[in-house]
Amino acid sequence: MNRTLTREQVLALAEHVENAELQAHDIHKVTNDYPEMTFADAYDIQWEIRRRKEARGNKIVGLKMGLTSWAKMAQMGVETPVYGFLSDYFSVPDGGTVDCSKLIHPKIEAEIAVVTKAPLHGPGCHIGDVIAAIDYVIPTVEVIDSRYENFKFDLISVVADNASSTRYITGGQMANLEDVDLRTLGVVMEKNGEVVEVGAGAAVLGHPLSSVAMLANLLAERGEHIPAGTFIMTGGITAAVAVAPGDNICVRYQGLGSVSARFV
């Protein structure tokens, strides 16, 4: 994998980007100063942010995929989605509150999440491997919050910013894989009682489990894999919808109940 940054630059950028998240202030996208940066550099920064959190005692509780719409990839001129990690303090209970003072410009996306019961290794991981490795499915709403000014960024900068990860809300209703058709599973997103987005699972790479297979293959590029018991958010089914203090959101999932939260 091609790299352009020194170890010292990776450490400095990881501190810079993570401080923007922890202190809830925006920054210029990192490629402004390092236009030759590669995806390998960006993932080096992301994994260093992950190491920094673990060193402070935070637990990594899951993984997520981003940019999982074929149309969005074509729009961005890229051929693969990106991934990020989820830290323990990102988790918000269903019906809970999200403190906007700790965020910059939050948006929400409806997602399908899965939990694995067996490890998944790439390269060459495919949807059949994933089906055999899934323990259960759970509805999830992701709150994304890019640290970059005006939500303007390129994909390499997004990877370095842990794929805009900040909070997620999981529903309380789980399902076995054989009891739901993830491709046709419909979602309806409401904000303050009005429908703002609708979608179906097929919006995620044609099938949300294709996203999990791709995650395993991307991790393999760094010699990593998906362990058993991993919580994985497969990517946005709907477009991202901006939220602000005072907003109430509810996302209804076909056969899986609903997920709600209040923004304060």
pLDDT digits (tens, 9 = 90+) for 44-96: 999 999 999 999 999 999 999 998 987 667 666 677 799 999 999 999 999 99
pLDDT digits (tens, 9 = 90+) for 14-32: 999 999 999 999 999 999 9
Confidence at residue 75, expressed as pLDDT on a 0 to 100 scale: 62
Q: How high is the pLDDT of residue 76?
A: 63
- pLDDT band of residue 1 (cuts 50, 70, 90) is confident
Decide if pLDDT at 114 tops 80. Answer: yes
For the stretch 89-108, pLDDT in tens is 999 999 999 999 999 999 99
Q: pLDDT (tens digit, 9 = 90+) per residue, 164-189?
A: 999 999 998 999 999 999 999 999 99
- pLDDT tens digits for 128-178? 999 999 999 999 999 999 999 988 888 999 999 999 999 999 998 999 999
The residues that bridge with 98 in the sheet, in sequence order, are 263
Contact assessment for residue 85 and residue 117, using Cβ atoms and an 8 Å cutoff: no
Contact 162, 52 (CB under 8 A): no
